[in-house]
């Protein structure tokens, strides 16, 4: 099974100079937790609902006072539409990410693959072949969800 078979297409995007309120509204409207950040037709990063919350909470400012490029991730891991779904799941597991932008060979954003897309496909694919198994998904979720090591407090 290929990424393009289950990825979310027509995703909402924002610009690095948009404020966090704009990004949050896009997430609300799109019922999603991530928005690709685009500039000049190219992916520049990703912003998540967690980025917005932590950005606002740690800066003591409102969402309207903080711009996306201050809190977005700038080197997102991505995959191709023709990537095998199991390879994409391995990428998520290895890089401990829940979402992958899907970039075509021309460099254009074609969609986003989320762990939720894969979970829903695993449920639907129980009787099919080529889809991810529940074991594949659970193993990936366990590795994605590992807590990062925090510095020792003196």
**pLDDT surpasses 70 at 110:** yes
Q: How confident is the model at residue 124 (pLDDT cuts 50, 70, 90)?
A: low
**pLDDT surpasses 90 at 141:** no
pLDDT (average), residues 13-18 = 97
pLDDT at 137: 73
Q: Which two tokens stand for residue 21?
A: 């309120």
| Residues 22-38 pLDDT 10s | 999 999 999 999 999 99
Averaged pLDDT score across all residues of the chain:
88
145 exposure class (CB count in 10 Å sphere: 0-12, 13-18, 19+): exposed
β partners of residue 34:
48
- For domain 3-144, say whether CATH 3.10.580.10 is its number: yes
pTM exceeding the 0.85 threshold for the entire prediction: no
SS3 content of the chain, % helix, strand, coil (to 5): 45, 20, 35
Output the CA torsion 11→63→141→120 (10° steps): -40
pLDDT at 121: 81
**CA–CA separation, 84 vs 105, rounded Å?**
15
pLDDT at 21: 96
pLDDT at 128: 59
Among the listed residues 2, 20, 31, 98, the one whose alpha carbon sits nearest the alpha carbon of residue 12:
31
């Amino acid at each position: 099974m290929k990424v393009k078979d289950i990825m979310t297409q027509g995703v909402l995007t924002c610009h690095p100079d948009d404020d966090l309120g704009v990004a949050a509204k896009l997430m609300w409207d799109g019922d999603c937790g991530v928005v690709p950040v685009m500039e000049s037709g190219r992916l520049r990063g990703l912003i998540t609902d967690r980025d917005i919350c932590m950005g606002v909470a740690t800066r003591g400012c409102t969402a309207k006072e903080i711009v996306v490029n201050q809190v977005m991730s700038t080197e997102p891991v991505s995959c191709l539409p023709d990537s095998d779904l199991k390879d994409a799941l391995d990428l998520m597991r290895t890089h401990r990410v829940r979402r992958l932008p899907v970039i075509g060979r021309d460099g254009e954003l074609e969609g986003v693959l989320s762990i939720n897309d894969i979970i829903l496909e695993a449920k639907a694919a129980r009787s099919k072949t080529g889809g991810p198994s529940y074991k594949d998904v659970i193993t990936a979720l366990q590795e994605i969800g590992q807590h990062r090591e925090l510095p020792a407090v003196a």
